Each structure stands twice: as C-alpha cells, then as structure tokens.
Amino acid sequence: MMRFYDLDHAATTQIHPKVLAAMMPYLTESYGNPSSMHTLGMQNKKDINTAKKHIASLLNCDFNELIFTGSGTEATNLAIEGYARKHPHKREIITTPIEHAATLNTIRYLETLGYKVHYLEVDAMGYVSLADLKSKINQNTLLVSIIWGNNELGTIQPIEMMTEIIHQHGACFHVDAVQMLAHKPMDLSVLNVDMMSFSGHKIHGPKGIGLLYKKKEIEIEPLIHGGGHEFKYRSGTENIAGIIGFDQALTLLNDQYDDKAKHLTALASAFYHQIRAILPIHLNGPTLNQSRIPGLLSLSFEGISGLKLQFKLNQKQIYVSTGSACHSNEVGVSHVIEAIHAKSPEGVIRISFGTETTLEDIPYLVDAFQTAYDDLKND
C-alpha cells in the first residue's frame, strides 16, 4: 500500500493494535449480554465495570459518575438536553459561536422550545470573553456549554476560570472535551466542571463509543429509555467491545501525554515555520506560544480555495480538512472560521498531526503543499 500522510487526527484516529486486540474477544467468543445472569453475561458485566472503574481512576472521578454513550455527540446531547429537561424552571443557556455542531444544534433545538440562548463573544484567536460571560450569566442561566479545545482552531479555553464564574451564579457547566482528551490528562476532581463529554475514536479507540462524565449531584433526564442501563441514563445493551477499547486507548494514552504533546508541538512548529517562509499563509487561532491543541494548525492560504487544495493534497496521499461547510447549495465557510473573521476564509486548511508523522517528513510535506498551492495559484 502506498504511504499516505494522515494530517487529520482531529477528525479521527486509527485504532491502536493493542486496543483492537483488547476488543476482539468481545466481538467473538465473549458475546454475552452483560445483563444476562449466567457466566457469559456476568463476566462481561464484570469486565464493563472493571473498565469503567479504571477509566474513573484515570480521570479521577467516581465510577458512578461515568455514562457510556454511542458517541461524543450523544454525550453532549445527553448533557445539555438531559439537564434542560430535568430543570425546566431555568430558561437561559450560554454557549459560544465556535462550538462543535453537537452542541450548537442541540442548543438550537432547545431554542425552538423557547430557551433564550446567549452566544459569547470570541476574539480573533477564538478565545471566549470572560467579561462577556460575566455580563451574560444571571440567575436564570440554566447551563453554560463550552468547547475546551476547539476542533477547528485548536484554541484551548481557560475553563478553570469559567467554572468559578459559572458556579458563582448557580449554573451548570458542561464542557466538550472530545478533542482535549487526546492531548491532556484530566483530573476531574480539580477541574470541578459539572459535565464533560468524551469520545473514543479521537484517542485511537473505536468509533461508536462516547462517554459523559456527570458529577454525582447533577441531575439529568435520560434521552433514551429502555432497560435502564448506565445508571438508567442511557438504555441499550452495552457496547462492551467499545467500552473495553475506550479503556485500553485511554490507558495507552495516559503514559504518553507528555511525549505526544512535545512531538506534535515540534511537528506543528516546524511545519508552520517552513511553510510560512515560502507561502502567503495566516495562522488562525492562537499563536504557537499560546494555549493551543498540540499539532493542530488552522491555516488560511491566500488566494486559493481550501477545497481545491485539499483535493490536490489528496492526490498526493496527504489527508487534511478544510474550513468549509455546506451552506444550502454553495460551499461556505465554517461557522468557526466565520466567527473569528479569519483572513482568506475560503482558503482554510486544518492540519492535525499524529504521532506517526516525523520531523523528517516535514520538508516533503511542505514541498507538497507548495507544489499544490502553486498549481492552484496559477489556475
């Protein structure tokens, strides 16, 4: 197979061989329903609980504060809509214009039910205005939902400072940590947020498994009713292979956070400095020295279409994302790129490095970008 360069790790990651190996028994011989009261089922129930307790120890929370879901999106839906349903007396929600669609569209749905939604100001780098949070939060605020590490820009929000403000006003704080889990070890006892969403496939785990952390005292309504699985918050026979895979992926990652961050930061820095020297680009989001997701670069390429650049790079087996979105029948700019008023928004490419890329690959990648850019620029 021809070598390819996956520079799209913020979209998804390859399942780690050790994760797959850990999952395999549950996709084959250990197929019992964890609710069954016989050895085949009981052993699986025990394995689920063991995995969950292990994840709880890694995240420093209680075992019964974790709810497995089918995705990060579902975790976010359960957090926001589940909390709103349980607390109908408060009708205001605060979020940002740069959230993932899982958050934005759940909140837009609640807006159709009569909720008042406040969108916080963000600056050109994607940082949320704490002053605006202070001005908009009030006694009617039900919930604040913020993405910790932005999936398009890489901006890392100061959630510790936000938590304090939000709790002073008696509101609930949900954090979308789907991207952050891949880059930062979590200590939920210190973070003190009320709910946090995670996903397996961003950390070299399987797709189809998400996780919601919900502080013990936070009450939510389930969105899926049935057999009362996951402490009655998410019914449906457990995705045991997914749960085991999530645990294995997080376990492997837990020992590598520091090395991974150093490596990805070095890759992003080398790539950025080399490409900036030869092409007219603009870095969206924070500068390289600020708080940003390691290895994630959102770059505006002047005078060309990001979609066309993506196509050209794909022909060279270099896989990236764009800052484009479908707007009815025209290619538009993503809501995040729009919100920060990025330069050359139609030419945005997101690069998110993974650990398999090496510093030795960077000159080749930069050269490939330059060739593709020159081709387009001359069109």
Q: Are the C-beta atoms of residues 38 and 32 closer than 8 Å to each other? A: yes
9: nearest Cα among 296, 207, 236, 272: 296
Q: What angle do CA 238, 223, 78 make, to 5 degrees?
A: 85
Of 41 and 332, which CB lies nearer to another protein in the complex structure? 332
Least Å distance, CB 337 to another protein, is 14
Nearer to another protein, 31 or 311 (CB): 311
Instruction: Report the alpha-carbon distance of residue 345 to residue 341 in Å, rounded.
Output: 8
Q: Contact positions toward another protein, by CB under 8 A?
A: 307-308, 311-312, 315, 324-331, 375, 378-379
CB of 47 or CB of 346, closer to another protein:
346
- The H or E element spanning position 116 is strand 116-119
Shortest Cβ distance from residue 300 to another protein (Å)?
A: 18
- Among residues 139 and 329, whose Cβ is nearest to another protein? 329
CA atoms within 13 A on the CB side of 292: 23
Q: Of the two residues 360 and 379, which places its CB atom closer to another protein in the complex? A: 379
Catalytic annotation on 172? no
Decide whether 148 or 369 has the Cβ nearer to another protein.
369
Query: What whole-number distance in Å separates Cα of residue 299 and Cα of residue 244?
Result: 36
Sequence-distant (6+) residues with CB within 8 A of 31 are 40
Task: Give least dist CB 152 to another protein, A.
Answer: 15
Distance between CA atoms of residues 335 and 356, nearest Å: 30
* Min CB(17)–another protein separation in Å: 29
Closest CA to 237 of 68, 37, 29: 68
The CA distance from 246 to 244, in Å, is: 5
User: Cα angle vertex 326, ends 322, 331, to 5°?
Assistant: 70
List residues bridging with 95 in a β-sheet.
119
Q: Do the bridges between strand 330-333 and strand 348-352 make them parallel or antiparallel, or are there none, so unpaired?
A: unpaired
CB of residue 378 vs another protein: minimum separation in angstroms? 5
Nearest distance from residue 335's CB to another protein, in Å?
Answer: 15
Q: CA torsion angle for 305, 309, 312, 316 (degrees, to 10)? A: 180
Catalytic residue among 139, 289, 326, 379: 326
Active site (catalytic) residues: 326
